[in-house]
Amino acid sequence: MTSTPTRTAEHRPVTDPDAPAVFTAGTPVALGRRAAAALSFRNIGAVYVWLLIAVIFSVWAPETFPTATTVKQVLNGNAVAGLVALSVVAPLAARVFDLSVAFTMSLTSVLTAHFLVNAGLGPGTAITLAMTAALLVGVINGIVVVVLRVDSFIATLATGALIQSLITMVTNDSSITGLQLLAKPFSSIAQLDAGGITLPVLYLLLAAMAIWFMLEHTATGRRLYATGFNENAARLQGVRTGRLRFMTLVTSALLSGFAGVVFASSVGSGSPTAGTPYLLSAYAAAFVGATQLRAGRFNAWGTVIAVLLLGTGITGLGLATSAQWATSLFTGSVLIVALVLTGGRIALPAVLRRRKSPPAEHATAPDKEIG
């Protein structure tokens, strides 16, 4: 005689009216929590600081600041700065410093103007030769840093000094000007606009989108972050860290070189000091951006937010007719405050969560029988 198999108790569905509800990823509550996390100050603190700056200047200069013209001025005036800032994101993700980006920008600006004005070449040829020089700078940086194993901070600073000597040799420390730089099609590279928004803003968005996609949605991006967090561990996992660091330096040189071409088209001259003011702001934006969206990781859109935050404040100070020293004071203050608010406060919520978490014996209480 055989017996009918029965289900064990643990396989029977149990309905407990007192059990807490479990929300799946697609429920409104789960979506609300995800939206709250995405909009939290911890995730996008710089955006709220940016909005606060906009409100302050709207009250300070109500007739000139809160206008569509100011919005266009902020976007157009900071597009080149954004390109330079984005050029250092990939190297920093791999823990590589490229301090030659400002000099590379100046080099392509000068070479483009030189080939157009002094050599009489066409815009396409002049830009190609200037970008080839930027590519060569990136290759040299890669060889010195990766192959010769010189510290990237020192190596790229030395490369920058060599580039500056070449610029001085070509220009004799004088800007190169000429009608060729003001004529189309070269002037259209930076001065062509649609609705008051110039093409460099589009270049900035495209560059940010490309870097974002590469870092967030490709194996190369994951390997870059792994290299930056722990190069030795990444190498043991089979990641070719040297090749990745080499390519980030080449990419950095090309993007900063392109920024130099755009700058020359924008101002109509080749300046031997075109990139100098952008070096500090580029790294400042990259480090502030690393506290946004992907905290602890250098990322493209966080860098763009930081660039626009700084640009909004500088534009506001200019419209409010403040003292000349106020710009530097503002930049330094905002950087410190933004880093403190978005980075230094991270430990506090963790402490609060630990204090609010129930003791271990309370957590196991539901499993005990209650007499």
Q: How far is CA 17 from its chain centroid?
A: 50
Q: Does the structure show a pLDDT above 60 at 30?
A: yes
The tokens 């980075």 sit on which residue? 343
**Can you give the pTM of this predicted structure?**
0.82
Query: For residue 318, what are its two tokens?
Result: 């200019």
Is the Cβ–Cβ distance between 271 and 173 less than 8 Å? Answer: no
For the chain, give the number of residues.
371
Region of poorest pLDDT, from 60-64, 259-263, 274-278, 327-331? 327-331
E strands, 265-309, in order: 269-270
Q: Could you read off the pLDDT of 49-78 as tens digits, one per residue?
A: 889 889 999 998 888 899 999 999 999 999
- Measure the CA dihedral 140/141/143/148, to 10°: 130
* Choice between 118 and 326, residue whose per-residue pLDDT is larger: 118
* Choice between 68 and 11, residue whose per-residue pLDDT is larger: 68
pLDDT confidence tier of residue 19, bands split at 50, 70 and 90: low
Across all residues in the chain, what is the average pLDDT?
84
Residue percentage of the chain with pLDDT more than 70: 83
Angle (nearest 5°) at CA 272 between 157 and 192? 115
Q: From CA 263, how far away is CA 186, in angstroms rounded? A: 11
CB environment 248-263: b (16+ within 10 A), e (fewer)? bbbbbbbbbbbbbbbb
Amino acid at 184: K
Q: From CA 247, how far away is CA 98, in angstroms rounded? A: 12
Q: Could you read off the pLDDT of 80-97 as tens digits, one per residue?
A: 999 999 999 999 999 999
Q: From CA 106, how far away is CA 235, in angstroms rounded? A: 35
Is the Cβ–Cβ distance between 74 and 308 less than 8 Å? Answer: yes
Q: Could you read off the pLDDT of 301-355 as tens digits, one per residue?
A: 999 999 999 999 889 888 887 677 777 787 777 667 656 654 554 443 444 444 4
Q: From CA 45, how far away is CA 39, in angstroms rounded? A: 9
